[in-house]
Amino acid sequence: RIEHIILTGHPETRLPGHASFCVRFIEGEAMLAFLDNAGVAAASGSACTSKMLKSSHVLHAMGLAPELAQGSLQFTLGKENTDEDIEKLFKALPLIVDRLRQMSPLYDKYLKSQSGGR
């Protein structure tokens, strides 16, 4: 389980094999680099902006704050994906998020705000 993840898009009417969400306190591009090193293919941004290095205007139009939209990830499964591919993602993503949050000034600020600034 990974805390501080927001599902993007409609909660029930979704494309089969497609997951889109935002991870708070870290950038999607950083997650992509680590996922790529782990052998996991993903995209960041909306489908409309996945090739750009900026947060998605689509995610902004959905009401997501820019700092949250920066942490967007998309995964799409196809007929060639295997259970092993999914397991690789489930194993890698929590470790990647934890590592990147340890380096995140935003996450550090959040933790300090939760502990009364200590």
The residues that are catalytic are 48
DSSP state of 13: S
91 Ramachandran zone, left/alpha/beta (phi>0; psi -120 to 50): alpha
Cα atoms in the 13 Å half-sphere on the side-chain side of 105? 1
